[in-house]
Each structure stands twice: as structure tokens, then as C-alpha cells.
Structure 1
Amino acid sequence: MKKQMWFAPVVLATAVLLLSACSGPDEDVAAPSAEAGAVPEAIAAIAEQGRQEISAWPGPTDSPQADGTALSVVVVPCGMATEGCKRQAEGFIEAADALGWETTLVDPKGDPSLDNAAIDQAITQDADAVFLVSIDPDIVAGALERARDAGIFVVASATDNTTGLDHEVSLHGDEEGRMLAAQIVVETGGDAKVAMFTGNEFKTVVKRVEGSKEVFADCSGCEIVAEQDISQTAGGPDLVSLVQSTIQAHPDVNVLWAPYDAAATDMVQAVQQSGRDDVMVASFNGNLQNLEFIRSGAPQKIVVGEALEWVGWAGADAVLRLSQGAPMVEDDGVPARILTADNLPEQGTAWTGDYDFRSEYSRMWGIG
């Protein structure tokens, strides 16, 4: 089966073009409150574009019709305790239920050895497909090879690595990183002193870091004053302590760059306990709790919202295409959006993409 390679979506191309030309302000999106004098025009344009509502369908325009085959799929998230992983897995299961498929959820809880065991379980069960969530294919290469040899389709999300996969639903980490950094530059008026807490176990996070660093490098008043790698299992009191010690060691820090919302939650607590009201938290995902932090005036001020349930539905679309030998899409079009206090979704809801993707996929599949 031919391996597909996916590259950045239309929004990435748009952002790159904005490096040389600014878009005009949108009346429906409040302008940032920070002074823009020290903000490079190209960076301000990336932030402006990234704040806009998703008003048109960015995904595929057609897909195979569901044929009633009850496919069996093993769903393997990076860890259900991590909200971003959980939302993608649950999105896939929801779509699979709509298609009449059978799913088995195997939670490896962030343990790479259990990632491999979960894929081997799919082989034992004679599953039709495996859906991996934010698990680097390189660390399960042997299991993936065994699965493919057994005729099992392998689809993954948020990996920024297509090795051994039939398809990846990409979050385009580099573009997300540029979006977050651009908004940070705008919010700080071009004076961001950033402590970056990376998560190098995830290639998507590595790409986010790279994208953010590109933007910070183009901001003369911005500086990364500290950088620390963390893991998804290192949250709670240990992360709170690490963040507090970082703030104390670098009193000029005014931004904490978080690799995902779960880590940002602990960072908010750390900032609150430190008494530093001049430090903001910025992260990725757009989970409910983090949106409420922004809404309530807590230290978290920015998040790049990801349509994570949409990711799961796009993953189901990929499995459907593979099962019928249909053409694969070059990019699934799952969007991201910069969210601040000025453009949050309704209270009590996570950001899911501004668009009814469920109805769109159901229509294409002939089930809605």
C-alpha cells in the first residue's frame, strides 16, 4: 500500500504569505490590547489571520459512501488522562459508532511498551485498522510493521511523522507554533521574555517549538530566556515546582510557553502561587478548563485551539477510504485558531472548529 506524505494546509500557506503582506482588521474580532509599535508587521498579520473564525469547510469535498461493513478498529491514544489525547480518541469512537463499526480502546497511559502491546493486541484481535493518537511511529516501528504485514490499516493523528503509517491526520505543529508565538508577541507589545517548556516526546510539539522560535527570532525585543523539556507524565506538584523555580531563576520572564493544555493547567497554578501577576501562560489544544482560565482572567491568556474531535472524525474518514481502496486526501483540513478573551466559544464548551464537521462527514458518508 502506498504511504502518503502530508504537508501543511492552506492556512500554513496563507500565514507564510502574510510574512510579506498584512491583512486588514476584521470587524468581528477585537483587536489586541497591547501596543503594536514594537510588533513587526508580518508577525501582527499572522496573529490577525490566526484569530479569524473558521467560516468555510476546509476538509475534503467527497468521500466513499459507507457500505455497511462493520469494521473493527483498535484505538490507541497517548494517554486518556491527557485531555488532548482523550478528545481525539473519543472523536474517532464517536465517528466509528456513527458508521456502525466496532472499536476497542486500549489506553497505554503514556508507556511506550504498552503502545507496542496495544498494536499487537490489534493483530491478535484480527482488527481491520488501528488508530493511534499522538504516538510517534518511530517508537512502535516493529509493532507497526507486524500490523501492516497482517493486513491492518494504520492511521494516526498528531504525529508529524508518517513512517510506517497509511495516513496521518496532521495538526501541523509548525504552523500552530507560529500562530501562538505571533499572538504572544502581539500581547507583549514585542517584549516577550519566554520560558519554553517543551515536550520532545511528541514530534508535533517539536514542530510547535520550531515554529514559535522562527517567530521569536524575527522579534527584536523578544527572547527565550529558559527552555526545559517535560513529559506528559510529569505533571502535578513536580511541574508546579519546576515552573516556580524557573520563574525565580529568571525574574524577567513574562510568558510561559506550554506544549499543551494539560501542562498549562499546572503552570497557571504555579504562577498564581508565585504571586507574579505579570506572567502569562500560553498553550495549545483549547480544552474546556483552559478556556475558562482565559475567560476568568487567570494567568492563561492565549491558546491555539485545535478541533480535536474533528481529528477523530477525519481519522475515521481515512480508515473508510483505505477500507474501500478510495483515493486518500492530501490534507484533512482540520483547523486551528488563536483564542483569547475576545473570541472564546460559548461558556461551558471546548473549541471544536467553528464548523459542523459531523454533519459534513455524515453527508459525504451517506449516513446523515
Structure 2
Amino acid sequence: MRSTINRPVRWLASASLVLVVMAAGAACSTESDSPAAGGGGGDGDEVAQKAAADLEAEFYGQGSYANPPAEGPEAQRGARIAVINSGVQSPTGTKQVEAAREVAELLGWDLTVYDGKYEPAEYQEGIRQAISQKADVIRLYSIDCPLAETALAEAKKAGIPVVSQEAADCSDVDPQAESYFADTLAFSQGTFIEWAKAMGESQATWLLAQLGEDADVIEVSVPELVVTNAIHEGFAAAMEEQCPACNVTEVKAQIADFGPALQEKIDTALLRNPNANGMALSYDDLMTTGGSAAVMASGRNDSLAVIADSGFPANVELIRNGQGQDAGFAYDMGYETWAAADMINRLLAGEQQGQSGVGIAVFDADNGLPSEGKAWSVDIDYKPVYKAMWGAS
């Protein structure tokens, strides 16, 4: 979910994980007057005050990030690891592969990377090639189990463990389904789905801190993706809990809409909701392939508080330049990929995965905005900790 190209990415999420999951509709109430972005909630607005306190305590700065585990097995050298990446054309996919190669060299692994090109048929082909090459572990990045279930069943039959980074197991989607993942990267919030829900919560909290009890929000969701469906669920639940009287209008988008069709959907939503003063978009491509253009064309850039994600340069620059986005949730792909390597190393050593320390944070123009041309990154020096643990340098 991390590019400005007009094609499916990730997840995003990662991110890549296209799976139709029915999203619950967000509740609607009466429209309210529209304050300027950041201008909602006076001194007596308890909704804004609580959200601002939660934002400071839970999401600004390092957010829910924590230090990596200090103890674990030494590097299990010589392992053959196959990475099946949903697509290397997006910033997330590119960064994941770069970090995976860096850490594999340290651990002494023979790493093979397969580009899934955002096509389920390619995901399955990559898994089958890994099986034929007798990989010790297959690592999926941002590929949900249902998209590659047939090939995953073949890997299970061959006795090759499959682990996931930012992906849902078949049993995560359907409790009655079989599980095909030997392990899944855990986050500070818990599971992958719980982590994604926290992203939606972070968006609701930021908007309510700006707008308070006057919030009248358009949420642009993508129900067909597991991760963005979870973001929607987290957003809707947080809005209902923190401000049940606030107005939320959900606009459902599809990956196929990216570009002019997406801009038209958001244009229409803005026209139909003239009192809307906030907007949440569940991932970055919604902003860079239609959202920003729609906000700017509406003439309401100064009266809308807009949050998307993800801390990559394209979205950071929209915030810096005031071009339709004001904030985003962010995560550090480098840290996440090193944590996933530690998960694999523990699996090879016969040990259980520990707490990864990977979480979620929120940034905006006044809080944690990366320097020009840079992506958001956590202020935790995790590499020396892992190197010491693995006996690598």
C-alpha cells in the first residue's frame, strides 16, 4: 500500500492481500457544522480532550513500539529461505526485500526472493518454486493464505514450514478453515488483525483530537483487503466508542478504482456531505491515486482534517506541502522485517517467537514528520540488539 502507481499493492498493508471480506457499515447520524481542520473541540469538549490525551500517550512519538527481545538463539546459518513478496514495485515491497536481504546476509542464509507481481497465480508459482528448490522455510510477505491456499497445501504436504509477515492465515479469515502458517509475526497489539485494527483506532483518535464532538467524517475504506477491512473495523469501533454522536459516512472503494474513478467517488462524497470536516483513508494509495486530488479540487483543503498513512515519502510530502493530507499512521518496515527474520531464526532453532516490539505510531506536520525525502522510522536502535543476540556483525 505504499506507492503512487495505479496498480494494486500489498497488503498495506501489507500489504497483496486481496480477499473479499464483508465490512460492517459505519453508523451515520445527523450532520453538523464544519469547523476548520484542527479547530474543533473547545475547552469544554471532552471528546477532543480525551482523544488528544490518548494521542499523546499511545500514538505520537514512538507509539506502541518497544525494544526488541534481548535474548534468543544464535544465527541458524546455512538455512535456505524463500521470500514470496506480494509485489516489489511498491515502496513497502521494495523496502521489505532490501531489509530481508540485509538481515539474511548477517544470518548466513541462502535467500531467494520471488516477486508476486500482485497476482495470486504468481504467489502460487513462487511457493511451488520454493518447494522444488527444497527451501527450509517459505516466508510470505503481505500474501493472505486464501490467495495461495492450493500451493500452501502442497508446501504443508512437503513438510516445509510457511511463515507470514503482514498476512492472514486461512483460519484467521474462516475459523473453520485449515491453518497453513507455522508462525505469523506478532505485533505489540497482538495478531496481525489486531495490529491493523489499531491503525484504524489511531486514525479515529487523531481526527477526534482535531474535531471533537463536532466530527463529521468521511471514511474511505477498501473492504476487499483483509488488512484494510480490519482498519475499517478498528476505525468504526473507535469512533462509536469515543464519540457515538459523531457522524461517519463510509465510502467503499476497490483497488480497481485507483485513479480517476477513485477521485470521482471521493468528489461525490464531498459534494453529498457539504458539512464534512474530516476524512480517513485506510491506506496511502487512496491518498496518492485520487484522494489528494479530490480534496484539493473541492476547495475544502483548509476545512478538512485528513488522515491516511503510511510514513513513506510520497505521503510525507503531501503533509509537508499541505496537499490534501494532514496526518498518517506509520510503521518501520526495516524493524518489522528484522523482527520477522528473528521469528524465522527461532523457528529454525526450535524456539517460540517472542514479543517483536513492532507497533504503530501517528505523525503529522507538528509531530514526528520525517525530513524531506525520508520515510518515517522508529527511534529505536534495534539492529545492534539483534546482531548481539545472533552473534552476527
Q: Tell me the TM-score range normalised by the shorter chain.
A: 0.7 to 0.9
2:311 maps to 286
Evaluate the alpha carbon distance shift between residue 236 and residue 229 of structure 1 in structure 2; reply closer, same or farther with a 3 A threshold.
closer
2:45 matches 1:38: yes
2:380 matches 1:364: no
Q: Could you report, residue by residue, the CA deviation over 1:58-80 in whole angstroms, capped at 9, with x for unpaired residues?
A: 332212111432x2222222222
Evaluate the alpha carbon distance shift between residue 212 and residue 323 of structure 1 in structure 2; reply closer, same or farther with a 3 A threshold.
same
* 5+ residue gaps, structure 1: 1-31
Residue 200 of structure 2 contacts residue 235 of structure 2 at CA under 8 Å; is this kept in 1?
Answer: yes
2:161 to 153, 159, 169: 153
1:213 to 236, 242, 247: 236
Query: How far apart are residue 229 of structure 1 and its match?
Result: 3.2
1:147-186 → structure 2 map (5 Å cutoff): 147-161=155-169, 163-169=179-185, 170=187, 171=192, 172-186=195-209
Query: How far apart are residue 94 of structure 1 and its match?
Result: 2.4
In the superposition, the TM-score normalised over structure 2's length comes to 0.78
202-211 vs 177-186, which deviates more?
A: 202-211
* 5+ residue gaps, structure 2: 1-37, 173-178
124-133 vs 96-105, which deviates more?
A: 96-105
Give the root-mean-square deviation of aligned CA atoms.
Answer: 2.4
2:118 matches 1:93: no
Query: How far apart are residue 323 of structure 1 and its match?
Result: 1.3
Q: Higher relative contact order by CA 8 Å / sep ≥ 6: 1 or 2?
A: 2
Whole-Å separation in 2 of the counterparts to 1:88 and 1:243: 31
2:293 maps to amino acid: Q
Which portions of structure 1, spanning 4 or more consecutive aligned residues, are displaced by more than 4 angstroms?
none
2:295 matches 1:271: yes
Whole-Å separation in 1 of the counterparts to 2:247 and 2:98: 38
2:57 to 49, 52, 55: 49
Evaluate the alpha carbon distance shift between residue 39 and residue 139 of structure 1 in structure 2; reply closer, same or farther with a 3 A threshold.
farther
Query: How far apart are residue 220 of structure 1 and its match?
Result: 4.1
2:224 to 198, 201, 212: 201
Residue 66 of structure 2 contacts residue 359 of structure 2 at CA under 8 Å; is this kept in 1?
Answer: no
1:243 to 239, 243, 266: 266
Query: How far apart are residue 33 of structure 1 and its match?
Result: 6.6
Query: How far apart are residue 186 of structure 1 and its match?
Result: 0.8
Whole-Å separation in 1 of the counterparts to 2:165 and 2:214: 34
Aligned length: 334
Residue 199 of structure 2 contacts residue 329 of structure 2 at CA under 8 Å; is this kept in 1?
Answer: yes
Q: Could you report, residue by residue, the CA deviation over 1:69-111 in whole angstroms, capped at 9, with x for unpaired residues?
A: 2x22222222223333433343223221322323222222222
2:201 maps to amino acid: R
Query: How far apart are residue 367 of structure 1 and its match?
Result: 0.8
2:364 maps to 340
SS in 2 for 1:303: strand
Evaluate the alpha carbon distance shift between residue 179 and residue 62 of structure 1 in structure 2; reply closer, same or farther with a 3 A threshold.
same
2:358 matches 1:353: no
2:79 matches 1:58: no
In the superposition, the TM-score normalised over structure 1's length comes to 0.82
Q: Could you report, residue by residue, the CA deviation over 1:40-64 in whole angstroms, capped at 9, with x for unpaired residues?
A: 2543332122344339843322121
Q: Could you report, residue by residue, the CA deviation over 1:255-307 in whole angstroms, capped at 9, with x for unpaired residues?
A: 33222112221211221233222234311321111112212222211111111
